[in-house]
Amino acid sequence: MLIHKGNFLKFILASLLLVCLASSAAAVRAPEAVATEFYGWYLQTLDADQDPLSDRYDRLNAYVAKPLVDQLVKRLLEKTLQPGDYFLQSSRIHGAWLRGHVQAVTLRRQARSADVLVTLDGDGDAKHDVVLTMVLDNGAWKIRHVNRAALESSASQPII
């Protein structure tokens, strides 16, 4: 490639800019990777009989968007927590989930938001699904909302 005398500096700057942009785009981890890591950590924390919100607040903030953390802290202080676990969307925690496998897949992704299906797979019948709404916050995907997935089926409900 031939670079004309006055354009060398422009060529070098443009090349550096492209390298920086490519490396910063590659540095953002996929939302499903963050979700899988969060639930692995979250379940280990519960298994160690610790409360992720009060005992591991700083680590929780690495995975959860500030508005959701603030909302959960407010509920805790007002003693208006809903029955069950918010991140599991369940009134009870299966022991199989604590030692099981976590899988996540992105269902929908836009520039700054994503919906991620998380499956906690303990023993066959202990399978549990939740759907996360995640937001891109300062270059990191964080959980903004958790819903129980309506994907579960039973023998009495035919799958079409």
Give the pLDDT score at 158: 39
- DSSP H or E segment with residue 117: strand 113-121
CA 16 to chain centre: 32
Report pLDDT for 104: 97
Between 3.10.450.50, 3.10.25.10, 3.30.360.10, 3.30.365.10, what CATH number should domain 29-148 receive? 3.10.450.50
Contact assessment for residue 100 and residue 88, using Cβ atoms and an 8 Å cutoff = no
Q: Tell me, what's the pLDDT at 151?
A: 56
What sign does the dihedral 94-40-68-76 (CA atoms) show?
A: positive
Tens of pLDDT, residues 5-17? 666 555 555 555 5
Q: What pLDDT was estimated at residue 155? A: 41
User: Within the chain, which residues score under 50 in pLDDT?
Assistant: 19-24, 152-160
Of residues 147, 114, 115, the one with CA closest to residue 130: 147
Cβ–Cβ under 8 Å, residues 73 and 58:
no
